[in-house]
Structure 1
Amino acid sequence: MRTQSILNLLVIDDDQLYAERLVHLLGCYYDSVNLGFLDDKEELLKLLRQPWDVLVFGNAYDMNFTDVVGIVQEQNIDLPMICLLNEEMVATAHNNEGLPNIISGTMVKALKVDEEMAVVMSICLQHDNLRSRRELKTLRHVLSEAEQRANVLIKNSKSAVAYIDQGIHIFANDPYLQLFGFASMSDAIGVPIIDLIAGGDNVKGFKQFLRQFAKGNRQEVEFKFESLRTDGSTFEAKLQLAAATLEGEPVTQVIIQQNNSNSTEVAKRLAAAECKDSLTGINNRRGFEEKMAVIYQQARQGELTAGLLYVQLDNIGKIRSSLGLQGLDATVKQVAYALDELVVDGHVSRFSDTAFTILVEDKTTAELKTLAEQIGSRINGMLIEVDKRTTSTTVSIGIVKIEKNTAEPSVLLERAMDAINQIMMETANNGATYHLYDPSEHANSDDHALAESLIEAITNNRFELTFQPIYDINNDRSDFFEVYLRLPLSDAENTVLTPDQFMAVAKKHKLLEKMDRWVLINACRKVNDVRKTHPEAKLLVQLTSASLIDKKLSSVASQLIKAVGGAAGVLTLQFNEKDIADHLTVAKTQFAALSQAGCQMGINNFGSSAKSIEIASFVQPDMVRLPRSYVEDIDSAENLETVKSLIIRTNEVNVDVLMPYIEDAATMSVAWSVGARYLQGYYLEEPRKIMKVAT
């Protein structure tokens, strides 16, 4: 009965060890069991404000099972309940056969407390029943809303549509009434649909067609016939049937098409329009997916080879900050026009707000790289006019080949995006704008070997940590350190891998959470030693998306903070802005829990999306760290104003800003003036294996 799910279990009892035992047993059937434990009425009323899946009642301080049932019913909560009895109470709570008095989809009364397997099975079955009820409720709501939308569309549709029940009209829209000459709805209601069919053979054939449809036959849903208007005139038409609901009751939907060729042409035009992007006029994501499906099938059959280029705009956050939505739209349109003009023998689509996809056929690896270079050069050289102002942008391009033994389209897209991430993670890409995903670099043998090295490094503490100080302008001190993870390999070259070289494998083998935990624990050990001589020393630790959704993280962080002295702010946990945007609601809850545990919270690569300020306002971090793109070319007046604008807006929501990548004196001199609280970079000090506090 293994289910990939979570159980929220509420136990009312005076024996917490028994509750923990139930959680342990239920762990065989659930990915996670969240336990709520209490034994008094006041606490029950508080906990019922949270969502629970099953309630187990044993012994309570000031309640019996009847009281609990009454409270749950008063709150109008659909919550399955199980009553547990000891040996003394069993005789009065069971029938003559020794079975519980009540077993239903919402209650079991009562089970023997020491028969743990019966209790566990009852919990699982009650939960399964609850999920079915919830799904049924959701489906009914969805059906109701779908019916409402359908009725609105039908009433406003130009197509002739009616509903019939057992062959009798019960509803018709205006085009249907006009088509057959009815003056009003009341004239059509109650009229058999066969009265609108001319000719005995047509009527006989339609009756047979209608009977087959009523029996569930959906192979034929169209019927061509000669229609009969109320004035006696006739016309050629095609009728289409579909199952539908009206006010929750099953009916049959009838659509009449008077001119088949015209309606087919309209359908084609609508289908084409659905595949076009309204802003740029090129294909949208749906258009790309349809073309991708065709090329994928042809490649799998060996009919062609192809290439997928995923083109991501780089500095959207800066454009959004300086020029607003108008500048963003203008940039996207100009890039779309340039790509469409440049790729004459391919298919260009707008995949998302700020990303494009390009499909090209029969290109060699060298030709794909050349095309990527041409695109990067063309976009980099564009000057985009926005209301008497000029902006520019660059792109990162992920390349994937589509061949006979290629992976599925969804996997190819992930590989293209991984190639983009590879570009973004490189600390110095020497001007490279593209990265080709090479499957040979991710072969199973190398993949597993690296995964084994990662596991061995976690188990035997073979990772290395380096620490780079951060200067705090407000307090004029440099005892705040960012932590970096490294993996030394035992090869002849003494290779040391950085996260961009092993994170993809770690993610595939589900090692991210364990690596994050290793970094946290060992970094805190290091800072604990330093705090003996420098009691104000503190850490900034970058964590992955696996930790962002880890419910146990706040508890771990709280223990580590206490272990290093319990000082508020000694530990700042930082997450990537993209990960936060992908798990926004979860991130808000996690940030709140970690703040409650005494952690400071940070966002890395802040400003890399168009909604950075909104994200910061929502999750409420203590600080944010700018991406490299904001610091590069900061000596230009426009870039400097963009950075200042972002920092001002960030400070307005009570968030401090860390300006990293200060690599030279010129950048350092400018950094003082932009309003950032924290400064960091090789010009100040490079990362070291030890934490050196400047005096």
Structure 2
Amino acid sequence: MARAEGILRLLIVDDSLTETDAVINILRSAGHAVRAGREDDFEALEQCLSKQSWDLIICRDHLPSLAPIEIVNLIKRLGKDLPCIVITEDKTAEKDLFRSGVQDVILKGDIERLQFVTERELDNLFMRRLARRNERALRESEKRSRALLESSRDAVAYMHEGMHIYVNRAYLNLFGYQEQEDIDGLPILDLIDPDDHAKFKMVFRQFTEQADAKPATVSTQCLKNGGYAFDADIEFSHAQVEGEDCTQVVVRDLNGAIVEDSEQLKRLRDFDLLTGLYNRTRFVDELQQAVNQAAENQSDSALLYIVLDDFQQIKEQVGLTTSDMVIKSVADLLLQTAQEGEKIGRYGDQIFTIVIPSDNESLVNERANAFLKTVDEFVSHANGKIIDLHCSIGIARISESVASAQTALENADKACTQAQHAGGNQTARFQEKMVQSDGDDLSSWQSVLQNALKNDLFSIHFQPIVGLHGPQQELYDILIRLQDSDKTLRAEEFIHYAVKLQMMTEVDKWVLRTSLKKLSEHRKTHPKTRFFIKLSEQTLREKDYVDWLSATLSAHNLTGQALIFEISETAALDNLEDTKNTIAKLKSIGCEFGLEHFGSGIDFSQSLNVLDVDYLKINGNFVENMAHDTENQAAIKAIVEMAKQAEKRTIAEFVSDAVSMALLWRLGVDYAQGFYIHKPSDKPDYNFEEEDL
């Protein structure tokens, strides 16, 4: 760390040796031991940042090929935690320079400010590095604690409100489960013989009601996965996991023999039984090592997150046994394609993860394309059917700014989702949000959006919303797309430009006209179908919108009952009076209303108190990672309970896996939507009659 070593590793971007020496002398006179480098070429700067570790970058704003905004974006792309300071001779340029994302702007000749800002940024950098080091130390401590639990012969679990949040390998083995995710969110009562439920509940309730209670034990019959019963003693004690109160459970099989540790058990702990690849736990350990190396400035690397496209449909076509054979074949092909030093794991059912030990982005892209090609060329014949596989690959750089293995996985997962949304069978790289120059960008986007409105280059997609506990309905969420040259853009890639250009009312009206035309045709064969339509803040403030809507509905022989409008919770509260007025007008013509991203606000009970809405779409951030995050589960539970009391229906978006789906059902959520259920389609073709959820 810079402050501990006493050396300031300074990189200066300037084409003048004289000015460079002046900056170095100013900082040395302030007591810094400066070790400096200078660059004035973009490619050389990129190499310099990739290969060496720096504490501070100081640049001038007059180099046309190295504008500050380009330097900031390069730092972000490479994942470097590196403060950037700009020296300028033009005071009027300060505002634009700050917008570029630099840490500070200093007028040339202001020696005291340069010294002060340097000291401040180095102190901040030191604290960030210290925080990351402490986080790594904490994770290592937690890892050692878990290792002790994993090596324990006792079957140990941690529960929150009667549901499993962590179990060790002995616990899995005792109850006949293979992986942690098989039991995540499962109530412990599911593992107890029904005849002993009353006895178990009584002891457990008495124990949990006393915060300072001593450990308690109950003797019951437990059930293995598959139904086999065995006698056991279950001991409860109070504990904490990641600062949250929970219950530690130790289960002792009264009839079972202690199994000695062996190489076979060790292999079971580290490797996936089907593929022989690293299992999820072991791979995360290997990934964390790569993260630690990058944090200590030893070397950057990359993570590939590989998801087999449309594998759920393949599994339904060929059956579980054959789909397992396909997974095994893919794993073998990945191993054959892998090069020395690359580490491969099976992270999920159809998800593979690979660490590439290289900071060369071109090389990493080549390796990703090699794995993509390997899967793309896979063809298998099973049960008389041809299985033609494809995959999507997300790429994430592992650099010093990546705090943990989980962060790297989330980044790679986001990139993989981007590749899937773009059609699959391709790679995508995770990029931090780059700073953009608004002027030229807005001008070009205005032309693109105006052209799209004029020539119908927008399109709508349909994603079904299916029932869990709510009344059976045929609901679709309407999503907008934009055809730009040879690629299709999702809303998040262009909507913010429409907002800045004050074009959202026009876009909203295009979406509604197109949706009503499609709905009018579709309801001839599916008369119960209803659409969820997003409403922007600009349209919310449009006084005549509902009158225009009424006329448009009549023109398509539809009534307001066919539509449910939705707006984000934060936008609704920011425009409270307009929202109230619009909701009242929409309800007067038969429409219903929902809040999107519900739970984003600090106090989401406020939304229910002041807004007369019918549906609450739970913030997707709670749902995406809920299978592995008990805090998200608790948040969803609180929202569901609050919604039931207020007689509102809940919808969970971004449902991506079976575990999350099961948890949502247990928590009482009314409806769900997401890629696990059905991807957005250009046709409303979901068969609601065959729901089996």
| TM-based fold match above 0.5 | no
Q: TM-score range by the shorter chain?
A: 0.3 to 0.5
Give 1 or 2 for the bigger CA radius of gyration: 1
Q: TM-score, normalised by structure 2?
A: 0.40
Q: TM-score, normalised by structure 1?
A: 0.40
